[in-house]
Amino acid sequence: MRAPRAAQPLALLLLLLQPLQFEFLRIHLGKSEEETEEFEDYLEELLKLGPARPLTKDAFRRRTIIDPARPLTDPEYCTAEMKMKNVHDKFRCVREHFFLQVVYEELQKLCKNIFVPCKNGVKKCHRSRQLIEGVYCNLTRGARMFDCEYKSSYRQGYVLITCRWQDDIQEIIPAYVNDIMTLDKHVKDGSIFYSELEWPF
Per residue in 43-86, pLDDT (tens digit) is 555 555 455 678 899 999 999 999 888 899 999 999 999 999 99
Q: Are residues 41 and 78 in the same domain?
A: no
Q: Are residues 79 and 151 in the same domain?
A: yes
Q: Are residues 22 and 117 in the same domain?
A: no
Q: Are residues 81 and 2 in the same domain?
A: no
Mean pLDDT of 148-156: 97
Mean pLDDT of 129-142: 97
- Residue-by-residue DSSP string for the chain: -PPPTTHHHHHHHHHHHHHHHHHHHHHTS---HHHHHHHHHHHHHHH--SSPPPPPHHHHHHHHB--TTS-TT-TTHHHHHHHHTT--BTTBPPSEEEEEES-HHHHHHGGGSPEE--TTS-S-EEE-SS-EEEEEEEEEE-SBTTS-EEEEEEEEEEEEEEEEEETTTTEEEEEEEEEEE--S-EEETTEEE--------
Percent of the chain past pLDDT 90, that is, above it, reads 56
Q: Which is higher by pLDDT, 177 or 34?
A: 177
pLDDT of residue 42: 55
Q: Are residues 127 and 186 in the same domain?
A: yes
- 109 domain-assigned: yes
Q: How many domains does the chain have?
A: 2
pLDDT of residue 46: 53
- 199 domain-assigned: no
Over the chain, what is the mean pLDDT? 78
- 175 domain-assigned: yes
- 200 domain-assigned: no
Q: Provide the residue range defining the domain that includes 72.
A: 57-193
- 201 domain-assigned: no
pLDDT of residue 138: 98
Q: Are residues 18 and 84 in the same domain?
A: no
Looking at the predicted structure, is the pLDDT value of residue 32 above 80? Answer: no
pLDDT of residue 53: 72
Indicate which CATH number applies to the domain containing 168. Answer: 3.10.130.10
Q: Are residues 43 and 66 in the same domain?
A: no
